[in-house]
Every structure is written in structure tokens, then in C-alpha cells.
A and B are shown apart, each in its own frame.
Chain A
Amino acid sequence: MSIWIKGGELVNPEKGVIEQSDIIVERGRISKILPRGVFGEQGSRLTTVDATEKLVVPGLIDMHVHLREPGEEYKETIATGTLAAVAGGYTSVACMPNTKPPNDNRSVTEFILRQAGEAGLARVYPIASITMGQKGRMLTEFGDLKEAGAVAVSEDGYSVVDSGLMRRAMEYANYHGLAVICHCEDRSLSGGGVMHEGVVSTRIGLPGIPAASEEIVVFREIALARLTGTPVHIAHVSTEGSVNLIRAAKGEGVSVTAETAPHYFTLDHNALIGYDTRYKVNPPLRTPADVQAVKQGLADGVIDVIATDHAPHSAIEKDVEFDRAAFGMIGLETALPLTLSLVREGVLGLAEAFRKMTCNPAGILGIGGGSVREGAPADLAIIDPDAEYGLMEEDFHSKSKNSPFIGRPLQGWNDLTMIGGKIVWQKNSNHPGC
């Protein structure tokens, strides 16, 4: 089947340009990109997708999600998680290894890929753990995991406490061409904390997590990247100090990249007043000054990627006392409008915003996608930048509903998602995978 995507504004994040171009999709690939109006009569036999007043963008790539399968299928499955992904405009997701059992060996990686294949929605790229069982003692078999399909290693949710072991992990990952993703947290400082340590934690009586617990490990990972020459990627940057450390490291040529998540540039620790566990995330929501610094880091390129840290939890983990509740919020279905609000605020240009959700994460993970060019697989999203509404709980495709953005009117929503030339999601269609 051939498809003519007609009348849209084509965002090309790689080139940093927005063009009025039509796209012809044939045999799963982008066969032609033509200036609007050039393609006419001969298109009448093609299936037409009208993208008038819409943005046509490369399918979004989320390099930080939790799909919970295997082990916690009551929170999310690979099928429901990838459905949430395509609903949000994502065509590829990289899933973290903290499943039960953790993704620390080939059989788990293969299982994830098999389930993703059966779901037939977003492309799934497994991230393996750095150590067996995420225990911080023995390295996993990076080579075997890479062969099985893992694209990166990360201890996810933990930092590798042993700096010597982390050094060896970086050296070894570099040899196998695996990206190294670092969750930065010194648990001897953060242990017992449930929110950012600051004026709000003092006021509302919750144990705090100081910014230093993140920054100490960011500093260490940068030092190890310098020592080993291995590129490292810092996950979910949340503090001004981290942004400054990464900025300085990039300035001296250390191979470091970084991501943040929409909640870190949208919400601050004042949201915790009222003890709503949907705002409990790790790292925690920080101060308004940190939010500003994260935005500045996005604006000046210190932060390369916007990822979601999509972390589904059920009522069992969330409808409990605040200190007993699990950390994390879902994000796949709200990241796009929250990021587009940065464009409206003038923090990011449109093409730049999409770079951080497409070609930048693709480059760091060394996976395909994230670009629009003739011959590339037709992974695309069509976005209505003007649509403004809020998602109700029942509108979410994720199995879990732990989002603080439920009911909040947001602007700029995904209309249609295409993967490999196949339309896998369309708004107001009851047929996922149609």
C-alpha cells in the first residue's frame, strides 16, 4: 500500500528545518519528499492522509521507559506500554532493565523482543542491567546481551556504588558498542528521603533527598568517562548543579550526553504540598530554580534528550501513605504536549524540540530512526499543534494511571502514528494497530 501524506508542515530535526512538503510512503519506506503542490493528479490512486495544518515529524523515540514485563504485568505489559507509546506519538522506546527478573541475561532480552514483536506496535529496544540482578557485584554478559538485541546498559534506579566496577563496565561497554546510561544517586545521602530536601520538605515534614545525592554521582560518571574515554549518558537530570557539571564537561570535550523528563521542566517541589503520591518521583521534583536551570540546559544544548521515564504503578503502590508509595509517574502519553509548551514559551525552537525526541536519542543509542529522508523507514507522527484538551483517566492507554496531568488541559497532541509505513494509531479510532 502506498500512502500520500499531504499538506503538512514537515519537521526535519536533523537538518533543523521545517518545510511545506508532502511525503510518499511505499513498501514501508519514505520513497519521496516533494514540495507541497508538486504531487497532484497521479496521487489520486494512493491512500491519502490529510495533514493540513498539522506537523509531520519523525516518529518520537523515548530512550527511558519502564514496560514492567516480565514480572509486573498488572502495572503494564509490553503490549499496553507500546500502545501508550504510539498513542503519544512514539515509534520507538528503550526499556529499562528493572523488570522481575531484571534484564541481566539473554533470555530476558529475547523475551522482551518477542513480546514486542507480538504486540506489533512501537519498536522496542531493551536496555540490559550493568550487573547481575542489579546487585552491583558482577558484570552482566555485555557481548551476549548485545547479540540478543540490547542497545545499552544501565543499572537503572541505582548507581553502581563500586567506582572501580563502574570503570570496568564503561571500558567493557565501549568495546561492545553499548551505550552506558547512568542513574545518578548516592543512596547514603538519599536513603529514606521521599522528596527534594529544601524549603518545602522542611515545611511539610517529609524526609528530603538533597540535590547533592544526584550531583556527586554525575560528577563521578563524568570523571570516569574522562578516564575511560567511554561516552556516558546521564539519565533524568533534575538539578541545577547537574546541569552545570554536564555543561562544564562538554566544554572540555568529555563525551557525555544527558536527558531530562517533562516533569522536571514542568513541575517543582511545591506540587508535593498535599501529599499527592502521583508527584513522587525519583529523582524528586526540585526547586523552581532547578526547573529554570533544566530549561536553560535544554535551550543551550547541555541536555540532549527529552525522555519520559514512563514509570507505571498501580493503586497498590500509589494509594498508600506517602513514604510507602513507589516513585514514578507515567509519561508516554503527555510528553509531547508538555514539550511543545516549551516551544510556545520560547525555550526551544520547534525543530530543536523534536531533535531531543528523535535523532538525538537515536544517535546516543545507535539505533535507526529519528529522521525524515528518502529511503528511510516510514516511522512518522502527525501532530495537531493547536489541539487543546486534557486526558481523562479512561483516555490513557497505559495500564496504569499514575499521572498528575490527568484532566489538565494541554496543547499539541498526536493525531496519527505510522511505523514502517503502517498506521498503528489514529486518534478517535477504536482500533489500535489498525
Chain B
Amino acid sequence: MAEFSHKDLLGMGQLSIEDIELILDTAESLKVISTRDIKKVPTLRGKSVVHFFYEPSTRTKTSFEIAAKRLSADTVSLSASTSSMVKGETLIDTARNLEAMSPDLIVLRHSSTGAPHLLAREVRASVINAGDGINEHPTQALLDLFTIRERKGRIKGLKVVIIGDIAHSRVARSDILGLTKMGAEVTVAGPPTMIPVEMETLGVKVVPDPRDAVRGKDVIMLLRIQLERQSAKIFPSTREYARFFGVDRQLVSRAKKDVIVMHPGPINRGVEIIPDVADGPHSVILDQVANGVAVRMALLYLLIGGKQSVDLD
């Protein structure tokens, strides 16, 4: 079996194809644990994991907590409102204080791009980026890749379209890096106010109109429209967005027959996705959530699980 040689997971950019395959294979073998009556193995017994969320998060934080607990790690959760940050402590000072308590792994969600990189330089513990600013959200990309591979049997050669606020989405950037690395063909769509400059340099096609962009696609990935962005003047109203860029059944019908529709959540029903589609036969949104636990278990195991083989008993 290949070795995972990284101390931290900061972004998809750092991973090789082999790394990604190893993570997905490991997740596949760990996924069964979550289907058992006793959903726990002792693999990470005696390891401590700190979940450090400077930004609100429900899904990602819960997913990490469950993943760590299923592997028997001890977990501690910090959020911005309960941490010393509200008392004015800097990230580096917080990191040094955490480090003094010898955790094995720190999961960091932060509103600033590059914050996990800063943390990783300061601590011996492994760091997982659970979303940094508008930059990356690598565990989301990995669970997306896992879900696509599970549904389609492969990633290479698939045609994927990502629709929404690409410019301000860490999910989009990580997915683009992961999908293109694994050989998928990626198109992005959305109003030009949501497409960053020089987008093509990331190896994707830009087709702003979703009606054109979804044609012949195997996968439609949607991004959450951050309603607070409306004040930043990047779209006039949710009504207008839904009308021109929202995904409804008619739009889905323009893609391949067996297209899957993905969304990182939380969804805005009636804005970027019509309820019919979110709950319809093409949707794999809840598979993504389930797979998120398996992928995060795999990462915890690969980063701090040591050399022992996965103990499924």
C-alpha cells in the first residue's frame, strides 16, 4: 500500500493523484464502520484531535467530530466565540498554547485564506484545513471525488460543471484542483460577477450560461449562494439569480440522462436549486454528507494513525 507522506492537509494543490487515490481507497474501507451497529473502532485510541472553528459550521464540524469519535480519538471543540480570540489573542499565540497541550491533530476552519498554512508552520501537530477564507476546502473536494467515483465508477474523463459563485467559493477551488488532477473535464458557469479573472488558467472552461454549460455533463455541482454577498453587489436579487442561474428540472434534463446533482450544503431551496431537484432522483446531496464522515476518517487515520493497518474489528 502506498504511503501518505504529508504532515498536514492544507489544500488539494499539495496532493498527487496517488495521494488522492489512497485517501479514497482508505475511505472506502472505513465506510463500512458507519453502517454497523457498534460504530466505533479503537484505531485512534489515545490520540487527541482539536476542532478549531473560527467560523460557524454545522455540517463540517459534526462530520469531523463523528469521524474522530468513530476512530476512538479524544476530541475537543473550540469556536471563535468560546476561544481566546474574542479576548484578542492572535492565531499564532492560540496555536502555541494548543501546541503546549500536545494535540495530535488540529482541524481548522478560518475566515482568512492561508490561516491553516500559518498554523501548520507553528505546530508539530498535523493540521487539516476545514475551509480557509475563499481559498480551499479540501475535505469537501475529497468527499465530492469519493461520491463521484462511487456513483460513476471513475473520475477520469467525466464532464463536470460547477455552477454558482466560483470567485468566493473555497469548495469550487478545491473541487477544480481535485477534479482536473484526476482527469475530469471541468466547466464553470455563473454570472461574470462570480467568475474570477483568468479562470481558464486553472484548466477549466468558462461557459457563463448554465443552459449551455450543462449540456452533455455527467455531474452538476452547485454552490451555495451566500445571501450576504448580495450587499457586495455581485447579484441583484435572489429572485433574479434563481431565474437565470438556478437549477430546475428543465436544466437537469439538458445534461446526460444519468447526471448526478451535487451540493456542498447548506442549500438555499428556491435559489440555486429548486426543491424538485434537491429531492429528486439525480440528487446525491445526502450521499455526500454520509461520505464526508468516511473521507474524514480516512484522513485522520492517514495523518495520525501511525503505521498499523486499519483495524476493522
Which one, B112, B136, B196, B198, contacts A323 given CB within 8 A? Answer: B112
In the complex, chain A residues whose CB is within 8 Å of the CB of B80 = none
In the complex, chain A residues whose CB is within 8 Å of the CB of B196 = 201-202, 208
What are 26 A-B pairs with beta-carbon distances under 8 A? A197-B197, A198-B197, A199-B197, A199-B201, A201-B196, A202-B196, A202-B198, A203-B201, A204-B135, A205-B132, A205-B133, A205-B136, A206-B134, A207-B134, A274-B117, A275-B117, A320-B91, A320-B118, A321-B91, A321-B112, A321-B113, A321-B114, A322-B112, A322-B113, A322-B115, A324-B112
Name which residue of chain B comes closest to A202, CB basis.
B196
Asked whether any CB of chain A lies closer than 8 Å to the CB of B170, the reply is yes
Bound together, the chains give a CA A324 to CA B118 distance in angstroms of 12
A-B pairs with lowest CB-CB distance, top 8: A205-B135, A275-B114, A321-B112, A199-B198, A202-B196, A322-B114, A321-B115, A199-B201
Bound together, the chains give a CA A274 to CA B11 distance in angstroms of 12
On whether the beta carbons of B112 and A205 are closer than 8 Å, the reply is no
B194-214 interface code vs A (CB 8 A; 1 in, 0 out): 001111011000000000000
How far apart are A212's CB and chain B's nearest CB, in angstroms? 11
Bound together, the chains give a CA A206 to CA B133 distance in angstroms of 8
On whether the beta carbons of B118 and A203 are closer than 8 Å, the reply is no
In the complex, chain B residues whose CB is within 8 Å of the CB of A205 = 113, 132-136, 170, 173
Asked whether any CB of chain B lies closer than 8 Å to the CB of A171, the reply is no
Which one, A202, A203, A320, contacts B90 given CB within 8 A? Answer: A320
Question: Which A positions have Cβ atoms within 8 angstroms of B?
Answer: 197-199, 201-208, 210, 274-275, 319-324
Bound together, the chains give a CA A320 to CA B198 distance in angstroms of 28
On whether the beta carbons of A320 and B92 are closer than 8 Å, the reply is yes
B87-128 interface code vs A (CB 8 A; 1 in, 0 out): 000111000000000000000001011110110000000000
On whether the beta carbons of A323 and B92 are closer than 8 Å, the reply is no
Name which residue of chain B comes closest to A320, CB basis.
B90
Of A207, A321, A322, A324, most B-chain CB atoms within 10 Å: A321
Size of B's binding interface in residues, CB under 8 A: 23
Bound together, the chains give a CA A344 to CA B91 distance in angstroms of 43
How far apart are B195's CB and chain A's nearest CB, in angstroms? 9
In the complex, chain A residues whose CB is within 8 Å of the CB of B199 = 202
In the complex, chain B residues whose CB is within 8 Å of the CB of A203 = 201-202
Bound together, the chains give a CA A203 to CA B136 distance in angstroms of 10
**Interface contacts beyond A202-B201, A208-B196, A323-B133: sample of 19 additional A-B pairs, CB < 8 Å, sorted by A:** A198-B198, A199-B198, A201-B197, A202-B197, A202-B198, A203-B202, A205-B113, A205-B132, A205-B133, A205-B173, A210-B197, A275-B118, A320-B90, A320-B91, A321-B110, A321-B114, A322-B112, A322-B114, A324-B112
Name which residue of chain A comes closest to B166, CB basis.
A202
How far apart are B286's CB and chain A's nearest CB, in angstroms? 28
Which one, A204, A206, A319, contacts B92 given CB within 8 A? Answer: A319
How far apart are B92's CB and chain A's nearest CB, in angstroms? 6
Name which residue of chain B comes closest to A323, CB basis.
B112
In the complex, chain B residues whose CB is within 8 Å of the CB of A320 = 90-92, 118
How far apart are A316's CB and chain B's nearest CB, in angstroms? 8
In the complex, chain B residues whose CB is within 8 Å of the CB of A202 = 196-199, 201-202
Name which residue of chain B comes closest to A206, CB basis.
B113
In the complex, chain A residues whose CB is within 8 Å of the CB of B202 = 202-203
On whether the beta carbons of A204 and B113 are closer than 8 Å, the reply is yes
Bound together, the chains give a CA A201 to CA B196 distance in angstroms of 9
In the complex, chain A residues whose CB is within 8 Å of the CB of B112 = 321-324
In the complex, chain A residues whose CB is within 8 Å of the CB of B197 = 197-199, 201-202, 208, 210
Name which residue of chain A comes closest to B170, CB basis.
A205
Name which residue of chain A comes closest to B195, CB basis.
A202
Name which residue of chain B comes closest to A287, CB basis.
B198
How far apart are A363's CB and chain B's nearest CB, in angstroms? 39
Of B114, B118, B134, B135, most A-chain CB atoms within 10 Å: B114
How far apart are A377's CB and chain B's nearest CB, in angstroms? 47
Bound together, the chains give a CA A300 to CA B244 distance in angstroms of 50
How far apart are B108's CB and chain A's nearest CB, in angstroms? 11
In the complex, chain A residues whose CB is within 8 Å of the CB of B136 = 205
In the complex, chain A residues whose CB is within 8 Å of the CB of B114 = 204, 206, 275, 321-322
How far apart are A323's CB and chain B's nearest CB, in angstroms? 5
Name which residue of chain A comes closest to B110, CB basis.
A321
In the complex, chain A residues whose CB is within 8 Å of the CB of B135 = 204-206
